[in-house]
A and B are shown apart, each in its own frame.
Chain A
Protein backbone atom coordinates (compact mmCIF):
# COMPACT_ATOMS: atom_id res chain seq x y z
CA UNK A 1 0.00 0.00 0.00
CA UNK A 2 1.26 3.45 -0.81
CA UNK A 3 2.68 5.22 2.21
CA UNK A 4 3.26 8.85 3.05
CA UNK A 5 6.30 10.31 4.72
CA UNK A 6 6.77 13.70 6.28
CA UNK A 7 9.85 15.85 6.13
CA UNK A 8 9.82 19.06 8.15
CA UNK A 9 11.68 22.28 7.45
CA UNK A 10 11.88 24.67 10.35
CA UNK A 11 13.78 27.78 11.39
CA UNK A 12 13.23 31.43 12.09
CA UNK A 13 11.60 33.96 9.82
CA UNK A 14 13.53 34.32 6.60
CA UNK A 15 15.76 31.31 7.23
CA UNK A 16 14.72 29.79 3.91
CA UNK A 17 12.03 27.19 4.58
CA UNK A 18 9.82 28.30 1.69
CA UNK A 19 12.82 28.51 -0.63
CA UNK A 20 14.06 25.05 0.37
CA UNK A 21 10.73 23.38 -0.21
CA UNK A 22 10.31 25.11 -3.56
CA UNK A 23 13.76 23.82 -4.59
CA UNK A 24 12.86 20.15 -4.32
CA UNK A 25 9.09 19.95 -4.52
CA UNK A 26 7.62 18.37 -7.61
CA UNK A 27 4.40 20.29 -7.37
CA UNK A 28 4.35 24.05 -7.26
CA UNK A 29 4.63 24.58 -3.54
CA UNK A 30 1.49 25.75 -1.87
CA UNK A 31 2.61 29.02 -0.36
CA UNK A 32 0.69 31.12 2.05
CA UNK A 33 2.76 34.26 1.82
CA UNK A 34 1.47 37.60 3.03
CA UNK A 35 3.15 40.95 3.45
CA UNK A 36 5.38 40.81 6.46
CA UNK A 37 4.03 43.06 9.18
CA UNK A 38 6.66 42.02 11.68
CA UNK A 39 9.59 43.89 10.22
CA UNK A 40 11.24 43.89 13.59
CA UNK A 41 11.72 40.13 13.40
CA UNK A 42 12.92 40.29 9.81
CA UNK A 43 13.02 42.91 7.11
CA UNK A 44 11.82 40.65 4.30
CA UNK A 45 8.82 41.59 2.20
CA UNK A 46 6.76 38.47 2.60
CA UNK A 47 6.34 35.85 5.24
CA UNK A 48 4.55 32.52 5.40
CA UNK A 49 1.39 32.26 7.44
CA UNK A 50 0.10 28.79 8.17
CA UNK A 51 2.39 26.28 6.54
CA UNK A 52 4.46 25.70 3.43
CA UNK A 53 3.67 22.51 1.66
CA UNK A 54 5.28 20.63 -1.18
CA UNK A 55 5.45 17.02 -2.26
CA UNK A 56 7.43 14.50 -4.21
CA UNK A 57 5.87 11.44 -5.78
CA UNK A 58 8.12 8.40 -5.45
CA UNK A 59 8.44 5.64 -8.02
CA UNK A 60 7.16 2.98 -5.64
CA UNK A 61 3.90 4.89 -5.24
CA UNK A 62 4.87 6.40 -1.87
CA UNK A 63 4.71 10.11 -1.38
CA UNK A 64 7.13 12.42 0.40
CA UNK A 65 5.34 15.38 1.95
CA UNK A 66 7.37 18.49 2.68
CA UNK A 67 6.20 20.82 5.41
CA UNK A 68 7.61 24.20 6.37
CA UNK A 69 6.70 25.53 9.76
CA UNK A 70 5.49 29.10 9.77
CA UNK A 71 8.12 31.46 11.14
CA UNK A 72 5.76 33.41 13.31
CA UNK A 73 5.77 32.26 16.90
CA UNK A 74 1.99 32.20 17.23
CA UNK A 75 1.87 29.01 15.18
CA UNK A 76 4.04 27.01 17.54
CA UNK A 77 1.21 24.77 18.66
CA UNK A 78 1.41 22.98 15.31
CA UNK A 79 4.92 21.70 15.83
CA UNK A 80 4.14 18.88 18.20
CA UNK A 81 1.49 17.46 15.96
CA UNK A 82 3.72 17.87 12.96
CA UNK A 83 6.71 15.99 14.31
CA UNK A 84 4.78 12.86 15.14
CA UNK A 85 5.80 10.13 12.78
CA UNK A 86 8.00 12.48 10.75
CA UNK A 87 11.00 11.16 8.89
CA UNK A 88 13.07 14.03 10.18
CA UNK A 89 13.52 17.74 10.56
CA UNK A 90 15.80 20.14 8.72
CA UNK A 91 16.55 23.16 10.89
CA UNK A 92 17.56 26.28 8.97
CA UNK A 93 19.49 29.15 10.52
CA UNK A 94 20.36 32.51 8.96
CA UNK A 95 23.81 33.54 10.16
CA UNK A 96 23.17 37.22 9.49
CA UNK A 97 20.34 37.39 12.02
CA UNK A 98 21.13 38.15 15.63
CA UNK A 99 21.88 35.29 18.05
CA UNK A 100 21.92 32.49 15.48
CA UNK A 101 23.17 29.95 18.03
CA UNK A 102 20.39 30.68 20.48
CA UNK A 103 17.93 30.45 17.59
CA UNK A 104 19.28 27.08 16.57
CA UNK A 105 19.03 25.79 20.13
CA UNK A 106 15.44 26.97 20.33
CA UNK A 107 14.48 24.87 17.31
CA UNK A 108 16.58 21.90 18.37
CA UNK A 109 14.73 21.85 21.67
CA UNK A 110 11.36 22.30 20.04
CA UNK A 111 12.00 19.22 17.91
CA UNK A 112 13.65 17.23 20.66
CA UNK A 113 11.72 14.08 19.86
CA UNK A 114 13.24 13.90 16.42
CA UNK A 115 16.63 15.20 17.55
CA UNK A 116 16.96 12.47 20.16
CA UNK A 117 16.73 9.72 17.58
CA UNK A 118 19.21 11.22 15.12
CA UNK A 119 16.54 12.63 12.84
CA UNK A 120 17.66 16.24 12.67
CA UNK A 121 20.12 18.26 10.61
CA UNK A 122 21.07 21.93 10.90
CA UNK A 123 21.83 24.04 7.83
CA UNK A 124 23.39 27.46 8.42
CA UNK A 125 22.82 29.91 5.59
CA UNK A 126 24.59 33.13 4.57
CA UNK A 127 27.85 32.14 6.19
CA UNK A 128 29.71 33.85 3.38
CA UNK A 129 28.13 37.16 4.42
CA UNK A 130 28.73 36.50 8.08
CA UNK A 131 31.24 33.77 8.93
CA UNK A 132 30.73 34.17 12.69
CA UNK A 133 29.72 32.22 14.61
CA UNK A 134 31.57 29.45 12.80
CA UNK A 135 30.34 25.93 12.21
CA UNK A 136 32.58 24.84 15.02
CA UNK A 137 30.83 27.30 17.36
CA UNK A 138 27.46 25.86 16.37
CA UNK A 139 28.64 22.28 16.87
CA UNK A 140 30.22 23.11 20.18
CA UNK A 141 27.06 24.74 21.47
CA UNK A 142 25.15 21.56 20.66
CA UNK A 143 27.83 19.37 22.17
CA UNK A 144 27.70 21.33 25.41
CA UNK A 145 24.07 20.34 25.71
CA UNK A 146 24.88 16.74 24.97
CA UNK A 147 23.20 16.92 21.59
CA UNK A 148 24.51 15.32 18.47
CA UNK A 149 23.21 17.12 15.41
CA UNK A 150 25.23 17.67 12.22
CA UNK A 151 25.71 21.28 11.15
CA UNK A 152 26.53 22.36 7.60
CA UNK A 153 27.08 25.63 5.81
CA UNK A 154 24.44 25.69 3.09
CA UNK A 155 22.94 27.91 0.48
CA UNK A 156 19.36 26.82 0.50
CA UNK A 157 18.71 28.43 -2.86
CA UNK A 158 20.67 25.57 -4.37
CA UNK A 159 18.64 22.41 -4.58
CA UNK A 160 21.80 20.37 -4.08
CA UNK A 161 22.27 21.69 -0.58
CA UNK A 162 18.71 20.78 0.31
CA UNK A 163 19.31 17.29 -1.04
CA UNK A 164 22.55 17.07 0.94
CA UNK A 165 20.67 17.61 4.17
CA UNK A 166 18.05 15.07 3.18
CA UNK A 167 20.79 12.60 2.32
CA UNK A 168 22.55 13.15 5.64
CA UNK A 169 19.26 12.59 7.41
CA UNK A 170 18.68 9.29 5.63
CA UNK A 171 22.23 8.13 6.28
CA UNK A 172 21.94 8.93 9.95
CA UNK A 173 18.67 7.04 10.30
CA UNK A 174 20.12 4.02 8.52
CA UNK A 175 23.24 4.04 10.66
CA UNK A 176 21.23 4.68 13.80
CA UNK A 177 19.07 1.64 13.14
CA UNK A 178 21.95 -0.57 12.13
CA UNK A 179 24.17 0.29 15.09
CA UNK A 180 21.33 0.10 17.57
CA UNK A 181 20.61 -3.43 16.52
CA UNK A 182 24.24 -4.48 16.49
CA UNK A 183 24.91 -2.85 19.84
CA UNK A 184 21.85 -4.52 21.35
CA UNK A 185 23.14 -7.88 20.18
CA UNK A 186 26.66 -7.30 21.48
Chain B
Protein backbone atom coordinates (compact mmCIF):
# COMPACT_ATOMS: atom_id res chain seq x y z
CA UNK B 1 0.00 0.00 0.00
CA UNK B 2 2.91 2.28 0.67
CA UNK B 3 4.43 2.35 -2.79
CA UNK B 4 2.17 5.15 -4.00
CA UNK B 5 3.56 8.55 -3.18
CA UNK B 6 1.89 10.79 -0.67
CA UNK B 7 0.79 13.96 -2.46
CA UNK B 8 1.05 17.16 -0.49
CA UNK B 9 -0.86 20.25 -1.59
CA UNK B 10 -0.48 23.73 -0.21
CA UNK B 11 -3.18 26.36 0.10
CA UNK B 12 -2.66 29.99 0.99
CA UNK B 13 0.77 29.55 2.57
CA UNK B 14 3.25 32.34 2.32
CA UNK B 15 5.92 31.53 -0.18
CA UNK B 16 8.59 31.44 2.51
CA UNK B 17 6.59 28.87 4.53
CA UNK B 18 5.95 26.82 1.41
CA UNK B 19 9.62 26.82 0.55
CA UNK B 20 10.58 25.90 4.11
CA UNK B 21 8.13 23.02 4.05
CA UNK B 22 9.43 21.85 0.73
CA UNK B 23 13.01 21.72 1.88
CA UNK B 24 12.07 19.97 5.13
CA UNK B 25 10.26 17.29 3.17
CA UNK B 26 13.17 16.92 0.79
CA UNK B 27 15.67 16.61 3.62
CA UNK B 28 13.54 14.23 5.69
CA UNK B 29 13.23 11.58 3.01
CA UNK B 30 14.74 8.84 5.14
CA UNK B 31 12.35 9.49 8.03
CA UNK B 32 9.12 9.53 6.09
CA UNK B 33 7.16 6.29 5.80
CA UNK B 34 6.09 7.17 2.32
CA UNK B 35 7.77 9.20 -0.41
CA UNK B 36 6.18 12.61 -0.59
CA UNK B 37 5.68 14.88 -3.56
CA UNK B 38 4.14 18.31 -3.83
CA UNK B 39 1.09 18.43 -6.07
CA UNK B 40 -1.82 20.62 -6.91
CA UNK B 41 -4.49 20.84 -4.22
CA UNK B 42 -6.94 18.82 -6.29
CA UNK B 43 -4.58 15.87 -6.40
CA UNK B 44 -3.32 16.08 -2.88
CA UNK B 45 -3.76 13.54 -0.09
CA UNK B 46 -2.69 16.06 2.50
CA UNK B 47 -3.33 19.80 2.28
CA UNK B 48 -1.29 22.19 4.36
CA UNK B 49 -2.67 25.69 4.47
CA UNK B 50 -3.77 28.61 6.56
CA UNK B 51 -7.15 28.61 8.16
CA UNK B 52 -9.16 31.47 6.65
CA UNK B 53 -7.76 31.05 3.17
CA UNK B 54 -10.59 30.43 0.69
CA UNK B 55 -9.01 27.48 -1.07
CA UNK B 56 -8.01 25.90 2.21
CA UNK B 57 -11.49 26.32 3.68
CA UNK B 58 -12.99 24.69 0.65
CA UNK B 59 -10.62 21.76 1.00
CA UNK B 60 -11.59 21.43 4.64
CA UNK B 61 -15.27 21.19 3.69
CA UNK B 62 -14.51 18.78 0.87
CA UNK B 63 -12.40 16.59 3.07
CA UNK B 64 -15.22 16.38 5.58
CA UNK B 65 -17.44 15.14 2.79
CA UNK B 66 -15.09 12.72 1.14
CA UNK B 67 -12.65 11.66 3.84
CA UNK B 68 -9.93 11.25 1.26
CA UNK B 69 -7.82 14.25 2.10
CA UNK B 70 -6.42 15.43 5.40
CA UNK B 71 -6.16 19.14 6.05
CA UNK B 72 -3.49 20.63 8.26
CA UNK B 73 -3.52 24.26 9.30
CA UNK B 74 -0.29 26.12 9.85
CA UNK B 75 -0.57 28.30 12.94
CA UNK B 76 1.54 30.74 14.84
CA UNK B 77 2.27 29.91 18.42
CA UNK B 78 -0.74 30.69 20.64
CA UNK B 79 -2.87 31.86 17.75
CA UNK B 80 -6.58 31.61 18.46
CA UNK B 81 -8.15 29.52 15.74
CA UNK B 82 -11.57 28.46 14.67
CA UNK B 83 -10.00 25.47 12.96
CA UNK B 84 -10.47 22.24 14.85
CA UNK B 85 -8.40 19.87 12.73
CA UNK B 86 -4.70 19.04 12.58
CA UNK B 87 -2.28 21.80 13.36
CA UNK B 88 1.30 22.46 12.43
CA UNK B 89 3.00 25.06 14.61
CA UNK B 90 5.15 27.88 13.34
CA UNK B 91 8.12 28.09 13.24
CA UNK B 92 7.97 24.84 11.29
CA UNK B 93 10.08 22.14 12.91
CA UNK B 94 11.26 19.22 10.79
CA UNK B 95 10.31 16.64 13.42
CA UNK B 96 6.72 17.95 13.57
CA UNK B 97 6.41 17.72 9.82
CA UNK B 98 7.72 14.15 9.80
CA UNK B 99 5.38 13.09 12.63
CA UNK B 100 2.35 14.68 11.01
CA UNK B 101 3.00 13.27 7.56
CA UNK B 102 3.63 9.81 8.95
CA UNK B 103 0.39 10.01 10.92
CA UNK B 104 -1.45 11.10 7.78
CA UNK B 105 0.04 8.22 5.85
CA UNK B 106 -1.20 5.78 8.45
CA UNK B 107 -4.67 7.24 8.55
CA UNK B 108 -5.03 7.42 4.79
CA UNK B 109 -3.87 3.85 4.23
CA UNK B 110 -6.40 2.66 6.80
CA UNK B 111 -9.36 4.57 5.48
CA UNK B 112 -8.61 3.93 1.84
CA UNK B 113 -10.85 0.92 1.21
CA UNK B 114 -13.86 2.29 2.97
CA UNK B 115 -13.45 5.68 1.40
CA UNK B 116 -13.35 4.43 -2.14
CA UNK B 117 -16.69 2.67 -1.91
CA UNK B 118 -18.58 5.43 -0.20
CA UNK B 119 -17.51 8.72 -1.66
CA UNK B 120 -18.33 8.89 -5.34
CA UNK B 121 -22.04 8.62 -4.57
CA UNK B 122 -22.02 11.56 -2.24
CA UNK B 123 -20.23 13.57 -4.84
CA UNK B 124 -22.72 12.69 -7.50
CA UNK B 125 -25.58 13.85 -5.41
CA UNK B 126 -24.37 17.43 -5.32
CA UNK B 127 -23.29 17.40 -8.92
CA UNK B 128 -26.68 16.29 -10.17
CA UNK B 129 -28.53 19.20 -8.62
CA UNK B 130 -26.84 21.45 -11.08
CA UNK B 131 -27.60 25.08 -11.45
CA UNK B 132 -29.60 26.29 -14.36
CA UNK B 133 -29.07 29.94 -15.12
CA UNK B 134 -32.12 30.04 -17.36
CA UNK B 135 -34.59 29.27 -14.63
CA UNK B 136 -37.50 31.61 -13.99
CA UNK B 137 -36.56 34.41 -16.30
CA UNK B 138 -38.29 37.40 -14.76
CA UNK B 139 -37.28 40.94 -14.00
CA UNK B 140 -38.17 40.52 -10.40
CA UNK B 141 -34.99 39.31 -8.82
CA UNK B 142 -36.22 37.66 -5.72
CA UNK B 143 -34.46 34.42 -5.34
CA UNK B 144 -31.86 33.05 -7.65
CA UNK B 145 -28.94 30.77 -7.49
CA UNK B 146 -25.67 32.60 -7.70
CA UNK B 147 -24.91 32.18 -11.38
CA UNK B 148 -28.40 33.14 -12.53
CA UNK B 149 -28.28 36.16 -10.29
CA UNK B 150 -24.92 37.28 -11.66
CA UNK B 151 -26.18 36.84 -15.18
CA UNK B 152 -29.27 38.94 -14.62
CA UNK B 153 -27.40 41.68 -12.81
CA UNK B 154 -24.92 41.89 -15.60
CA UNK B 155 -27.65 42.06 -18.26
CA UNK B 156 -30.19 44.34 -16.64
CA UNK B 157 -29.04 47.85 -17.31
CA UNK B 158 -32.19 49.45 -15.93
CA UNK B 159 -31.45 47.80 -12.62
CA UNK B 160 -28.30 49.81 -12.40
CA UNK B 161 -30.12 53.00 -11.61
CA UNK B 162 -29.91 54.30 -8.10
CA UNK B 163 -30.39 51.12 -6.25
CA UNK B 164 -28.67 48.94 -3.72
CA UNK B 165 -29.16 45.22 -3.42
CA UNK B 166 -28.87 43.13 -0.33
CA UNK B 167 -28.15 39.46 -0.93
CA UNK B 168 -28.86 36.99 1.79
CA UNK B 169 -28.66 33.32 2.32
CA UNK B 170 -30.98 31.70 4.85
CA UNK B 171 -32.11 35.06 6.18
CA UNK B 172 -28.65 36.36 6.92
CA UNK B 173 -27.61 39.39 4.84
CA UNK B 174 -24.29 38.60 3.25
CA UNK B 175 -23.51 40.94 0.42
CA UNK B 176 -24.30 44.55 -0.24
CA UNK B 177 -24.16 45.64 -3.88
CA UNK B 178 -24.11 49.24 -5.04
CA UNK B 179 -25.16 48.81 -8.61
CA UNK B 180 -24.69 52.39 -9.79
CA UNK B 181 -21.09 52.42 -8.57
CA UNK B 182 -20.41 48.88 -9.70
CA UNK B 183 -19.07 47.63 -6.41
CA UNK B 184 -19.92 45.28 -3.58
CA UNK B 185 -19.05 44.60 0.00
CA UNK B 186 -19.88 41.99 2.58
CA UNK B 187 -22.36 43.21 5.10
CA UNK B 188 -22.57 41.03 8.13
CA UNK B 189 -20.97 43.63 10.28
CA UNK B 190 -17.37 42.87 9.46
CA UNK B 191 -14.85 44.81 7.53
CA UNK B 192 -14.09 43.10 4.28
CA UNK B 193 -10.74 42.19 2.98
CA UNK B 194 -10.63 41.08 -0.63
CA UNK B 195 -10.05 37.60 0.75
CA UNK B 196 -13.22 37.60 2.86
CA UNK B 197 -15.16 38.91 -0.09
CA UNK B 198 -13.90 36.38 -2.57
CA UNK B 199 -14.12 33.38 -0.29
CA UNK B 200 -17.70 34.31 0.49
CA UNK B 201 -18.49 34.48 -3.23
CA UNK B 202 -16.75 31.22 -3.82
CA UNK B 203 -18.89 29.55 -1.19
CA UNK B 204 -22.04 31.19 -2.57
CA UNK B 205 -21.23 29.96 -6.05
CA UNK B 206 -20.74 26.47 -4.92
CA UNK B 207 -23.45 26.02 -2.43
CA UNK B 208 -26.58 25.04 -4.24
CA UNK B 209 -28.88 27.28 -2.26
CA UNK B 210 -30.96 30.11 -3.55
CA UNK B 211 -30.00 33.60 -2.69
CA UNK B 212 -32.61 36.12 -1.55
CA UNK B 213 -32.38 39.53 -3.10
CA UNK B 214 -33.77 42.64 -1.51
CA UNK B 215 -33.81 46.03 -3.20
CA UNK B 216 -32.86 49.04 -1.17
CA UNK B 217 -32.55 52.75 -1.57
CA UNK B 218 -28.88 53.60 -1.51
CA UNK B 219 -27.51 53.95 1.99
CA UNK B 220 -24.82 56.27 3.14
CA UNK B 221 -21.46 54.58 3.07
CA UNK B 222 -19.97 53.54 6.38
CA UNK B 223 -16.47 54.65 7.01
CA UNK B 224 -15.16 51.15 7.52
CA UNK B 225 -16.79 49.68 4.44
CA UNK B 226 -14.45 48.27 1.93
CA UNK B 227 -15.70 47.75 -1.55
CA UNK B 228 -14.61 45.48 -4.31
CA UNK B 229 -15.38 45.98 -8.00
CA UNK B 230 -18.33 44.09 -9.48
CA UNK B 231 -16.03 42.33 -11.95
CA UNK B 232 -14.62 40.48 -9.00
CA UNK B 233 -18.17 39.50 -8.02
CA UNK B 234 -18.96 38.24 -11.51
CA UNK B 235 -15.69 36.43 -11.88
CA UNK B 236 -15.95 34.40 -8.69
CA UNK B 237 -19.57 33.50 -9.15
CA UNK B 238 -18.95 32.46 -12.76
CA UNK B 239 -15.84 30.47 -12.26
CA UNK B 240 -16.90 28.60 -9.12
CA UNK B 241 -20.49 27.89 -10.09
CA UNK B 242 -21.28 24.23 -10.32
CA UNK B 243 -22.85 24.59 -13.72
CA UNK B 244 -22.37 22.57 -16.82
CA UNK B 245 -24.30 24.87 -19.08
CA UNK B 246 -23.24 27.93 -20.95
CA UNK B 247 -25.04 31.15 -20.09
CA UNK B 248 -28.04 32.09 -22.23
CA UNK B 249 -26.93 33.55 -25.54
CA UNK B 250 -23.93 31.26 -25.76
CA UNK B 251 -24.03 27.83 -27.25
CA UNK B 252 -21.79 24.93 -27.97
CA UNK B 253 -21.67 25.52 -31.71
CA UNK B 254 -19.90 28.84 -31.24
CA UNK B 255 -16.23 29.71 -31.25
CA UNK B 256 -14.89 31.57 -28.24
CA UNK B 257 -12.17 34.17 -28.15
CA UNK B 258 -11.09 36.54 -25.39
CA UNK B 259 -10.75 40.30 -25.79
CA UNK B 260 -7.96 40.28 -23.26
CA UNK B 261 -6.69 38.37 -20.26
CA UNK B 262 -8.91 38.22 -17.18
CA UNK B 263 -7.30 39.92 -14.21
CA UNK B 264 -5.71 36.93 -12.57
CA UNK B 265 -3.72 39.32 -10.43
CA UNK B 266 -6.71 40.52 -8.49
CA UNK B 267 -8.99 37.53 -8.89
CA UNK B 268 -6.49 34.75 -8.43
CA UNK B 269 -5.51 32.16 -10.96
CA UNK B 270 -6.00 28.50 -11.44
CA UNK B 271 -3.64 26.66 -13.74
CA UNK B 272 -6.56 25.52 -15.90
CA UNK B 273 -7.67 29.11 -16.31
CA UNK B 274 -4.22 30.27 -17.31
CA UNK B 275 -4.05 27.67 -20.02
CA UNK B 276 -7.56 28.39 -21.27
CA UNK B 277 -6.88 32.11 -21.40
CA UNK B 278 -3.58 31.60 -23.23
CA UNK B 279 -5.39 29.68 -25.97
CA UNK B 280 -8.46 31.86 -26.18
CA UNK B 281 -6.52 35.11 -26.41
CA UNK B 282 -4.62 33.73 -29.37
CA UNK B 283 -7.45 32.16 -31.32
CA UNK B 284 -11.23 31.62 -31.47
CA UNK B 285 -11.81 28.01 -30.50
CA UNK B 286 -14.76 25.70 -30.00
CA UNK B 287 -15.56 23.89 -26.79
CA UNK B 288 -14.40 20.63 -28.31
CA UNK B 289 -11.12 22.14 -29.46
CA UNK B 290 -10.53 23.68 -26.07
CA UNK B 291 -11.18 20.37 -24.46
CA UNK B 292 -8.61 18.60 -26.59
CA UNK B 293 -6.04 21.37 -26.40
CA UNK B 294 -6.21 21.99 -22.66
CA UNK B 295 -7.21 18.50 -21.51
CA UNK B 296 -9.65 20.10 -19.09
CA UNK B 297 -13.13 18.75 -18.29
CA UNK B 298 -16.03 20.54 -20.03
CA UNK B 299 -17.28 21.78 -16.72
CA UNK B 300 -14.12 23.77 -16.05
CA UNK B 301 -14.14 25.18 -19.56
CA UNK B 302 -17.80 26.17 -19.40
CA UNK B 303 -17.39 27.85 -16.02
CA UNK B 304 -14.42 29.76 -17.38
CA UNK B 305 -16.31 30.89 -20.49
CA UNK B 306 -19.27 31.95 -18.34
CA UNK B 307 -17.04 33.97 -16.03
CA UNK B 308 -15.38 35.68 -18.98
CA UNK B 309 -18.78 36.46 -20.47
CA UNK B 310 -19.99 37.97 -17.18
CA UNK B 311 -16.87 40.16 -17.07
CA UNK B 312 -17.35 41.29 -20.67
CA UNK B 313 -14.19 39.65 -21.84
CA UNK B 314 -15.69 37.19 -24.26
CA UNK B 315 -16.00 37.52 -28.03
CA UNK B 316 -18.33 34.70 -29.02
CA UNK B 317 -18.33 34.01 -32.74
CA UNK B 318 -20.75 32.07 -34.80
CA UNK B 319 -18.94 29.61 -36.95
CA UNK B 320 -18.66 31.03 -40.45
CA UNK B 321 -16.94 28.16 -42.13
CA UNK B 322 -13.97 30.35 -43.02
CA UNK B 323 -11.87 29.26 -40.11
CA UNK B 324 -9.08 26.92 -40.91
CA UNK B 325 -9.69 24.01 -38.61
CA UNK B 326 -6.80 22.73 -36.59
CA UNK B 327 -5.92 19.12 -37.08
CA UNK B 328 -5.95 18.13 -33.46
CA UNK B 329 -4.78 14.63 -34.24
CA UNK B 330 -1.43 16.18 -34.86
CA UNK B 331 -1.44 17.79 -31.48
CA UNK B 332 0.60 15.14 -29.80
CA UNK B 333 3.33 15.59 -32.34
CA UNK B 334 3.21 19.32 -31.97
CA UNK B 335 3.47 19.00 -28.23
CA UNK B 336 6.39 16.62 -28.37
CA UNK B 337 8.56 18.02 -31.09
CA UNK B 338 10.61 21.16 -30.92
CA UNK B 339 9.60 21.86 -27.36
CA UNK B 340 12.98 22.09 -25.77
CA UNK B 341 11.34 24.11 -23.02
CA UNK B 342 8.94 21.44 -21.77
CA UNK B 343 11.57 20.03 -19.44
CA UNK B 344 12.63 23.29 -17.90
CA UNK B 345 9.04 24.44 -17.49
CA UNK B 346 8.13 21.36 -15.56
CA UNK B 347 11.22 21.83 -13.39
CA UNK B 348 10.29 25.46 -12.74
CA UNK B 349 6.73 24.50 -11.87
CA UNK B 350 7.92 21.83 -9.55
CA UNK B 351 10.30 24.14 -7.68
CA UNK B 352 7.57 26.68 -7.08
CA UNK B 353 4.73 24.21 -6.53
CA UNK B 354 2.78 25.27 -9.61
CA UNK B 355 0.58 22.92 -11.53
CA UNK B 356 1.22 22.23 -15.20
B338 is an interface residue with CB less than 8 A from chain A: yes
Q: Which of B281-322 contact A (CB under 8 A)?
A: 281-283, 293
Judging by beta carbons under 8 Å apart, are A182 and B327 in contact? Answer: yes
Q: Are the C-beta atoms of B352 and A62 separated by less than 8 Å?
A: no
Tell me the interface secondary structure of chain B in the complex. helix
A179 touches B265 (CB 8 A): no
Q: For window 114-159 of chain A, which residues contact chain B by CB distance below 8 Å?
A: 118, 123-124, 127, 135-136, 139, 143, 148, 150-154, 158-159
| Chain A residues closer than 8 Å to B352, beta-carbon distance | 24, 163, 166
A56 to chain B: closest residue by CB: B351
User: Which partner residue on chain A sits nearest B325 by CB separation?
Assistant: A186
A154 to B268, CA, bound (A): 10
Residues B345 and A170 in contact, CB atoms below 8 Å apart = yes
Q: Which single member of A148, A170, A178 contacts B331 (CB below 8 Å)? A: A178
Contact B260 A168 (CB under 8 A): no
Give the interface segment out of B199-207, B233-241, B270-278: B270-278
Complex Cα–Cα for A164 and B347 (A):
16
Q: Does A80 interact with chain B (Cβ within 8 Å)?
A: no
Q: How far, in angstroms, from A78 to B325 measured CA to CA in the complex?
A: 43
C-alpha spacing A64/B343, complex, angstroms: 13
Interface size on B, residues (CB 8 A): 46
CB distance from B125 to the nearest CB of A (A): 34
Assess the A179–B344 pair: CB atoms within 8 A.
Answer: no
A43 proximal to B (CB < 8 A): no
From A57, A60, A167, A172, residue with most partner B Cβ within 10 Å: A167
Residue contact B330 to A179, C-beta cutoff 8 Å = no
Verify A59–B15 contact, CB threshold 8 A. Answer: no
CA distance A158 to B318 in the complex (A): 41
The verdict on A160 contacting chain B, using a C-beta distance below 8 Å, is yes
* Interface of A toward B, CB cutoff 8 Å: 3, 5, 23-24, 56-60, 62, 64, 87, 118, 123-124, 127, 135-136, 139, 143, 148, 150-154, 158-161, 163-164, 166-168, 170-179, 181-183, 185-186
| 27 pairs, A vs B, C-beta closer than 8 Å | A23-B15, A24-B15, A56-B351, A58-B344, A58-B347, A58-B348, A58-B350, A60-B347, A62-B347, A118-B282, A123-B265, A135-B263, A148-B281, A148-B282, A151-B261, A153-B263, A159-B16, A163-B354, A167-B349, A168-B269, A170-B348, A174-B339, A175-B278, A177-B341, A179-B279, A181-B337, A182-B328
